[in-house]
Each structure stands twice: as structure tokens, then as C-alpha cells.
């Protein structure tokens, strides 16, 4: 009885231990399966695993296609329905295989190929800096992209190794064929991924060196171009500052506003020309080649654009010769028409004048206030008179008065000369000072600027012509004043009569012409 009780106790204890062991083993299997599922979820969206899955799909499709083709060959030809069904499946598989053609040789072939490094664009000007920065940024992005792919490959490989450990433990606990097959599949994946990693690591090392070399070369050129650009900008700023300094000095020592305007414009042209040459010599590689091209081009342009080049030459003569200045009053004769006005601008190609009310507009044009553009080359071909050259602000103006033959012309000349001298005295004094200065530059034979009066015998009377100095810019005003005073003074004199065209009419009977006898025959005999 005691032996039976002891046997039952041992049996019960073993039964309890075996049940507990089974429960513990089942829990461990569940935990390991959960781990494996977790590892699979970690690499589910990994690009390397996706491509590897596509590669396996491609291989499986090939096997299925081969099986279907064998089945078609072994199927009875009379079973047309089955053969058509197999052919449809074969066509579908063929289309799928064609879509996955890139996975024919290797699952990671496209992933391991590094992109070609584009040729670096030569940076020759500041605008090309944009392409330089874009090139460097693109290379860095390609480098980071390939590095990111490599890191994802390493992550996938590490997950597979953890999965292999979990699957090995699972196989040790439950040595089933399914677990063994999964373990072998994982080991095959690890082998494939390890090979891909070794190739990718080697490829990336070489690719990284090429990228770094290209980036460094591009960075050096970008830096050099930035330095050159700053140097050019600094040079331009210095040129502009020198121009401002020259303008300041000119403003300080040139009191004449018109001359300062001309000097100011000349400084602007020189500044602009220097800046253009700085830019040309900075960004044109072969300057001698450019000079040769410009030489040939200028020869053709000189013929085709003769007037423009002559205008440029005329501008040089005007600026350096000092013949005309802004503010001068000039008269231009073109095709028998006269234009009188003040120069308001002198550009590279033309002078601009503002037409004022003058004796010319009063007698001929009957128009004024127009802006007239005169090409600079006209100084070589047309007559241009300067009323205010070399500081002269006065010109000669004259008034003619016709007196009758019975007038006291000597008395009239005395009155007219006194009136003229009275109203032109201020301009006469100014003209004397200006004439003394002008004689230092030119040989003037008769520098007398006092009013002059002449008398001439004309068919209809005695013409009294009086000449006097007047303001170059307001000749009509003084002419009007003097004319009014002369008329008023002469009208007070009884022995002076102003002559003007008259007609005499006779009223009476018209006389018949007398007949003249013909004496020619008498003369013959």
C-alpha cells in the first residue's frame, strides 16, 4: 500500500511538471513568433527589401511560366479549352515578367549603380555662380541620397540578423520543417544583403572620393569667381568715387554752370567707358581675339554706320575743342532753313537745342519753342553759328529806317545814334570786356563795339542803318525798345519824314494819242 501511494505521488508530480513545461514552451514559441513578426514589420517598407521581394517575384514568375509551358506541351491537343486557358496564363505571366525585367540578373543592380557625375560648368561670370552653387548642391544631394540607401541596407541587414537569431531559437524549441525553411530563407537573404552591402560600401567609397573632388573643384572656382566679382565691384566703386571727386573739384573751381554741365557730362562718359572696359577685360578670356574681331567689325560698321561714327567723332571735337557748350545760343542752317536756340544737352550722338523767339523765328519760321535735335556730325558738313562762343554774351543787331529825300538825314542820324547809344550802353560795356578776352585767343582786326550808324542812297529814299551791341539771348527786346523810341523821336521833328511805299492816283479825261505822220517815204527820196 505504501508503494502504491508513493508511485501515485511521483506520477502526479511528473504530470504537473510536464504540463508546466508544455505551457512554458508554448509561451516561448509565441514570443519568438511575435519577435519575428516585429522584425518583418521593421523592414516592410525598406527599399532594399522591396527590390529583393520583386526579384523573388520575378524568379517565381519565371518558374511558373516554365511550368505552364511544359504543361501546354504535355496537354492533349484535343483539349482546346484547357490549352487556351494555359496560353492566357502564359501571356499574363509574360507581361508581368516584362514589367520586372530589371530584376533579371540581380535584385540590387540599379541600387548599386552610382550616377554619373556631370561635367562641371565653367564659371566665367557672376551669373554663372548660380549654376555653380546648383551644381555643388546637386552633388551633395546625390551623395546624401546614396549614403541614405547604404544606411537603409545596413539597417535591413541588422534586422535580418536579429531575425535569424530569433528563428534559430524557434527552431531549437520547435524543430519543424517550416521553421527550418524560414531560417534558411533568412540566412540566404542575409547572404544576399551582405554581398550587396560589401559592393555598395566599396562603390560608395570610390564614388564619395569623386564627388568630394568635384565639389572641392567647384567650390574653388566659385570662391575665385566671388573674389573676382568683389574685386570688380570694388574697382567700379573706386571709379565712381573718383568721378564724384572730380565732379566736386569741378563744382568748386568752375563757376559757369554751363561749363560745369559739360564737364559733368564728360566725367560721366569717361566713368561709363572705364567701367565697360573693366567688365570686358575681366570677363573676356582672349582679349587679343576680341580686339581682332572688333577691328574687323568696326571696319564694316564704319562704312554701314558712317553717320553714327562721324557723330561720335563730332562729339569728341565738341568736348575737347570747346567749340560749343551747354547753354550756348547757336544757329543751325540746314537745307536753306535756320534754327536758332539754346543748347540744352550734348550727348554722344547729337546736340539738343531749345528754339527761342528770335529775329529768325519772327521773319521766317513763325514757329518757336520746339526741341531740335542736331546730329554731332553736322559740325563737319553744315554751318553752325555760335552767338555766345568763348564767353561772349552779346551780338551785333541793326535797325534800318528809310527817310524821304527831303528829310534832314544828318539830324536824324544824330537822334538815332543817341537813342541807340543810350539803350545799348550796358551791353556795349560788357562787350568791351568780353572782346578783350576774345582777342587773347583770336586775331580780331576791329575790336570796336561802340554803336555804328550808316546812311545809304536807296531808290525810294535815304536808308539809315544803325548797329549796336545787344544781349545774345534777348535781341528782340532791345530792338523793340529802340525802334519805338526812334519812331517817337522822329515824329516830333518837322524836317524828318519816314518814307514808305506810296501810290499816286490821277483822276481826269483820258487823252487820245496823236497820230504820228509816216515820213519814211520822204526820207527815201
| Burial of residue 42, with CB atoms counted within 10 A of its CB: 0-12 exposed, 13-18 middle, 19 or more buried | middle
Would you place residue 468 in the very low, low, confident or very high pLDDT band (cuts 50, 70, 90)?
very high
| Burial of residue 151, with CB atoms counted within 10 A of its CB: 0-12 exposed, 13-18 middle, 19 or more buried | exposed
Distance CA 466, CA 393 (A): 20
Average pLDDT over residues 473-484: 91
Q: What is the pLDDT of residue 295?
A: 67
Distance CA 347, CA 367 (A): 25
Structure confidence by residue, pLDDT tens digits, 386-426:
888 877 889 999 999 999 998 999 999 999 999 999 999 99
Fill in the DSSP letter of residue 461: E
Q: What is the pLDDT of residue 14?
A: 54
Looking at per-residue pLDDT, the higher value among 197 and 330 belongs to: 330
Looking at per-residue pLDDT, the higher value among 491 and 14 belongs to: 491
Distance CA 103, CA 105 (A): 6
Average pLDDT over residues 229-254: 87
Q: What is the pLDDT of residue 364?
A: 82
Nearest residue to 347 via CA among 465, 464, 261, 244: 261
- Residues 6 or more apart from 496 whose CB is under 8 A from it? 403, 407, 408, 409, 411, 412, 415, 490
Structural element, H or E, at residue 342:
strand 337-346
Looking at per-residue pLDDT, the higher value among 503 and 191 belongs to: 191
Q: What is the pLDDT of residue 451?
A: 93
Q: What is the pLDDT of residue 525?
A: 36
Whether the predicted pLDDT of 114 surpasses 90: no
Looking at per-residue pLDDT, the higher value among 122 and 310 belongs to: 310
Distance CA 448, CA 431 (A): 9
Of the listed ranges 21-30, 148-157, 339-348, 459-468, the one predicted with least confidence: 21-30
Of the listed ranges 19-28, 154-163, 327-336, the one predicted with least confidence: 19-28
CB 218 within 8 A of CB 122: no
Cite the DSSP H helix spans in 385-474.
Answer: 409-438
Helix (H, G, I), strand (E, B) or coil at 466: strand
Q: What is the pLDDT of residue 520?
A: 43
Distance CA 33, CA 39 (A): 10
Q: What is the pLDDT of residue 2?
A: 53
Average pLDDT over residues 466-484: 92
Q: What is the CA radius of gyration of the chain?
A: 56
Q: What is the pLDDT of residue 11?
A: 52
Distance CA 193, CA 176 (A): 26
Average pLDDT over residues 146-171: 79
Looking at per-residue pLDDT, the higher value among 354 and 252 belongs to: 354
Whether the predicted pLDDT of 13 surpasses 80: no
Q: What is the pLDDT of residue 20?
A: 46
Looking at per-residue pLDDT, the higher value among 67 and 498 belongs to: 498
Q: What is the pLDDT of residue 292?
A: 65
Structural element, H or E, at residue 398:
strand 394-403
Task: Tell me the three cell numbers of residue 232.
Answer: 570688380
Task: Tell me the three cell numbers of residue 295.
Answer: 577691328
Distance CA 257, CA 177 (A): 109
Amino acid at each position: 500500500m505504501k508503494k502504491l501511494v508513493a508511485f501515485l505521488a511521483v506520477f502526479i508530480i511528473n504530470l504537473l511538471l510536464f504540463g508546466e513545461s508544455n505551457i512554458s514552451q508554448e509561451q516561448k514559441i509565441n514570443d519568438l513568433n511575435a519577435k519575428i513578426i516585429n522584425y518583418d514589420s521593421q523592414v516592410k517598407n525598406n527599399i532594399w527589401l522591396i527590390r529583393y521581394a520583386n526579384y523573388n517575384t520575378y524568379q517565381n514568375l519565371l518558374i511558373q511560366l516554365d511550368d505552364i509551358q511544359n504543361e501546354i506541351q504535355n496537354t492533349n491537343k484535343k483539349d482546346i479549352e484547357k490549352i487556351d486557358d494555359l496560353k492566357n496564363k502564359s501571356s499574363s505571366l509574360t507581361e508581368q515578367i516584362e514589367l520586372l525585367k530589371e530584376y533579371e540578373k540581380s535584385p540590387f543592380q540599379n541600387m548599386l549603380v552610382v550616377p554619373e557625375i556631370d561635367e562641371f560648368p565653367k564659371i566665367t561670370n557672376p551669373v554663372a555662380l548660380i549654376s555653380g552653387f546648383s551644381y555643388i548642391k546637386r552633388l551633395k544631394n546625390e551623395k546624401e541620397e546614396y549614403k541614405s540607401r547604404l544606411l537603409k541596407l545596413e539597417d535591413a541587414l541588422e534586422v535580418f540578423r536579429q531575425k535569424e537569431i530569433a528563428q534559430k531559437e524557434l527552431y531549437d524549441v520547435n524543430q519543424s520543417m517550416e521553421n527550418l525553411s524560414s531560417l534558411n530563407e533568412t540566412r540566404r537573404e542575409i547572404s544576399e544583403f551582405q554581398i550587396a552591402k560589401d559592393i555598395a560600401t566599396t562603390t560608395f567609397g570610390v564614388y564619395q572620393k569623386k564627388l568630394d573632388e568635384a565639389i572641392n573643384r567647384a567650390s574653388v572656382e566659385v570662391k575665385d569667381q566671388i573674389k573676382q566679382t568683389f574685386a570688380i565691384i570694388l574697382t567700379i566703386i573706386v571709379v565712381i568715387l573718383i568721378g564724384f571727386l572730380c565732379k566736386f573739384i569741378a563744382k568748386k573751381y568752375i563757376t559757369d554752370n554751363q561749363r560745369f554741365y559739360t564737364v559733368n557730362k564728360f566725367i560721366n562718359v569717361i566713368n561709363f567707358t572705364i567701367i565697360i572696359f573693366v567688365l570686358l577685360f575681366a570677363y573676356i578670356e582672349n582679349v587679343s581675339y576680341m580686339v581682332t574681331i572688333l577691328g574687323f567689325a568696326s571696319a564694316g560698321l564704319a562704312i554701314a554706320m558712317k553717320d553714327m561714327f562721324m557723330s561720335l567723332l563730332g562729339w569728341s571735337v565738341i568736348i575737347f575743342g570747346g567749340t560749343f557748350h551747354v547753354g550756348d545760343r547757336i544757329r543751325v542752317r540746314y537745307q536753306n532753313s535756320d534754327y536758332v536756340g539754346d543748347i540744352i544737352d550734348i550727348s554722344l550722338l547729337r546736340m539738343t537745342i531749345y528754339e527761342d523767339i528770335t529775329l529768325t523765328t519772327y521773319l521766317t519760321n513763325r514757329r518757336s519753342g520746339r526741341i531740335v535735335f542736331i546730329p554731332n556730325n553736322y559740325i563737319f558738313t553744315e554751318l553752325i553759328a555760335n552767338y555766345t562762343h568763348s564767353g561772349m554774351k552779346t551780338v551785333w543787331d541793326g535797325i534800318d529806317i528809310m527817310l524821304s529825300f527831303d528829310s534832314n538825314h544828318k539830324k536824324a542820324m544824330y537822334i538815332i545814334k543817341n537813342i541807340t547809344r543810350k539803350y545799348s550802353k550796358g551791353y556795349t560795356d560788357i562787350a568791351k570786356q568780353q572782346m578783350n578776352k576774345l582777342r587773347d585767343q583770336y586775331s580780331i582786326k576791329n575790336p570796336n563795339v561802340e554803336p555804328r550808324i550808316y546812311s545809304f542812297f536807296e531808290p525810294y529814299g535815304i536808308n539809315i542803318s544803325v548797329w549796336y551791341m545787344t544781349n545774345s539771348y534777348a535781341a528782340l527786346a532791345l530792338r523793340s525798345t529802340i525802334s519805338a523810341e526812334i519812331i517817337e523821336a522822329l515824329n516830333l521833328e518837322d524836317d524828318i519824314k519816314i518814307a514808305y511805299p506810296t501810290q499816286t492816283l490821277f483822276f481826269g479825261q483820258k487823252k487820245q494819242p496823236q497820230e504820228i505822220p509816216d515820213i519814211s517815204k520822204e526820207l527815201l527820196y
